[in-house]
Amino acid sequence: MSKKFSKEPIRGMDDYYPQDLREVNWIIETIRDVVERYGYEEYLTPQLEPIEIFAAKSSDELVNEQSFIVEKKEGERLILIPELTPSLARMVAKKSQELKKPIRWYCVPTCFRYERPQRGRRRAFIQPNVDILGEESLYADLEIFNVIVDIFTEFGATTEQFQIYYNSRRFMDSVCKFILEIKEEIIPLVFKVLDKSDKLDENEFEKYLIDTFQDEIIIQGILKLKDSRSINDLLKKFDNIPQKFYKSEGYLELKKFEQLIEEIDIRNYCTFSSGTVRGLDYYTGIIYEVFDTGTENIRSIFGGGRYDDLLSIFSEEKITGTGFGMGVYTLSLFLKTYNLIPEDIKEKDYSDTIYIASINEDMSTYAFELARMIRDDDFPCMIDYRFKNLKNQIKKANELGILIVLIIGPEELAERTVTIRNMVSEEQKTVNFDAVIEEIYSIIDEFNEDKFEQ
Ligand code: HAM
């Protein structure tokens, strides 16, 4: 016997059977509906990019440890996109003169990361991205927060089930610079370490801190930055905060942002989190991650933030942007945890599909002609190709949940008629070929009236 290959997909990657894809598509369509209400338009990028554009400002870990690299013939190395933002920046930089600002775009790519597969993390994952570019004001960040809240509420989730944990890179810069007096060039390293704080346990984190910094004052300072849930909570941990901190752009901007989320009444959905600093290098302003507030799903569902300088790797023009990426997989785990996936999307609905059953194979051409007419009227239509044993064909239609079966036999063929079977009442009626569509509509009207009365 010849060797049989494994039926499994590559580790960390998934096959989507139609049933799985129905759920994924339902999630994506719901997101699409929300973002299009805000005027966002869809775009698409290639899945392969030059590695340099991610190496420049994404993260060392992402490029060096978590990437799928494709080697081209000439030795040029390409990367299977681990995230989308550098590609978005490239596309915007390329046409920045002609694009009307602000640019509101969304995309539904598959991204690839060589991570340890686990609950909430796969090696290939669908990551809808929503970004607004060319709008400097905090209202852009506020709009993005609103979009996130609307997406979750559209799925029926409540503030008790999810929170947007936010912070600001500029604010944390000011804390490091003016309160902890950490040298500017070390601050990115502080963020890198802090980003690990919720991924490592307490002992691992302390060891990682000591290995990275060796300096006891910095280590004690960073430990204080870890898990405050309000700006006041965080600042209470420090004595003698200098006035220049309270006058810094980072502090003032974050305070203003908090006032705005209060004013538009989404405060309940948002929690300040000093440990949220984001792992990607290009963030400069307000940053955020969405988490399940329960204990079942510990990985972030959404992640995003403001990037002021990302386009500078492609052009001299400065265009700021803010937005998020979200995992369809992580969101689906969240929705399942709270029973927010409706039952009726789990099975394919054949109730509007017309089924053609034939008494023998002599009717095959007639069946194709009939099916074409029905599809031309926008009804899905399936032909049973067994062409014998009518009882079995009707049984099959019944199993699928079909409501209307068209039966054709020698008599129907000779007289150009069709017998229509209402699968609910089990009534049958023979009509002329040209009257079939009208009869289908009248049976559907009957079903709808019955549904309405119930
Ligand atoms: P990120 O935090 O790396 O941000 O990813 C955003 C979301 O993508 C995560 O919260 C998670 O739901 C999902 N995700 C990430 N890695 C995986 C994985 N291995 N398996 C399943 N889901 C995953 C970014 O990628 C930024 N580029 C987002 C952004 C857009 N920032 C501004 N605009």
Q: With a 6 A CB cut-off, is 54 part of the ligand 1 pocket?
A: no
Residue that finishes a domain, picked among 337, 363, 392: 337
Strand partners, 428: 421
Out of 184-193, 210-219, 250-259, least confident range: 210-219
- One domain, residues 207 and 263: yes
7: in domain:
no
* Mean pLDDT across the chain: 95
Query: In the chain, pLDDT over 90 holds for what percent of residues?
Result: 86
Same domain, 322 and 416: no
Q: Output the pTM of the full model.
A: 0.94
Please count the structural domains in the chain: 2
Highest mean pLDDT among 84-88, 224-228, 448-452: 84-88
Q: Are 112 and 124 in contact (CB under 8 A)?
A: yes
Q: Does a structural domain hold residue 259?
A: yes
| Residue 380 forms part of a structural domain | yes
Residues 201 and 276 in one domain: yes
202 and 258 in a single domain? The answer is yes
Using alpha carbons, select from 375, 322, 398 the residue that is nearest to residue 168: 322
The whole-number pLDDT of residue 89 equals: 97
Check if 421 has its Cβ closer than 6 Å to any atom of ligand 1.
Answer: no
pLDDT at 392: 97
Is the confidence at residue 451, as pLDDT, over 90?
Answer: no
CATH number at residue 410: 3.40.50.800
pLDDT at 454 over 70: no
Q: What's the pLDDT tens digit per position in 92-102?
A: 999 999 999 99
Q: What is the CATH number of the domain that holds 255?
A: 3.30.930.10
Q: State the pLDDT at residue 76.
A: 84
389 lies in which domain range? 354-453
Write phi, then psi, for 180 (nearest 5 degrees).
Answer: -90, -10
- Any ligand 1 atom below 6 A from CB of 121: yes
Assigned domain for 153 exists: yes
Nearest to 423 by CA among 364, 344, 345, 350: 350
**Using alpha carbons only, how large is the chain's radius of gyration in Å?**
29
**276, 308, 337: which is the final residue of a domain?**
337
pLDDT, position 108: 98
Dist. CA 339–CA 40, nearest whole Å: 29
CA triple 422-427-433, angle to 5 deg: 65
Could you tell me if 249 and 168 lie in one domain?
Answer: yes
pLDDT score recorded for residue 201: 86
**Does the CB atom of residue 300 touch ligand 1 within 6 A?**
yes
* 381, 409 contact by CB (below 8 A): no
132 and 277, same structural domain? yes
Among 288, 310, 337, the domain boundary falls at 337
- Do the domain assignments include residue 349? no
Do residue 146 and residue 221 come from a single domain?
yes
Are 147 and 241 members of one domain? yes
Q: Is residue 6 over pLDDT 90? A: yes
Q: Is the same domain home to 24 and 144? A: yes
Q: What is the pLDDT of residues 142-190, one digit of tens each?
A: 999 999 999 999 999 999 999 999 999 999 999 999 999 999 999 999 9
Q: In one letter, which amino acid is 20?
A: D
**345 lies in some domain:** no
pLDDT per residue as tens digits for the range 295-313: 999 999 999 999 999 999 9
- Residue 431 is given by DSSP the state E
Q: Is residue 87 lining ligand 1, measured as CB closer than 6 Å?
A: no
| Mutation to probe ligand 1, out of 40, 43, 83, 126 (largest number of atoms < 8 A from CB) | 83
Residues 145 and 200 in one domain: yes
Average pLDDT over residues 122-137: 98
What pLDDT is recorded for position 198? 79
Q: Answer whether residue 348 is part of any domain.
A: no
58 with 190, same domain: the answer is: yes
Residue 3 within any structural domain of the chain: no
Would you say the CB of residue 250 lies under 6 angstroms from ligand 1? no
Q: Whose CA is nearest to atom 29 of ligand 1?
A: 324
Residues 92 and 154 in one domain: yes
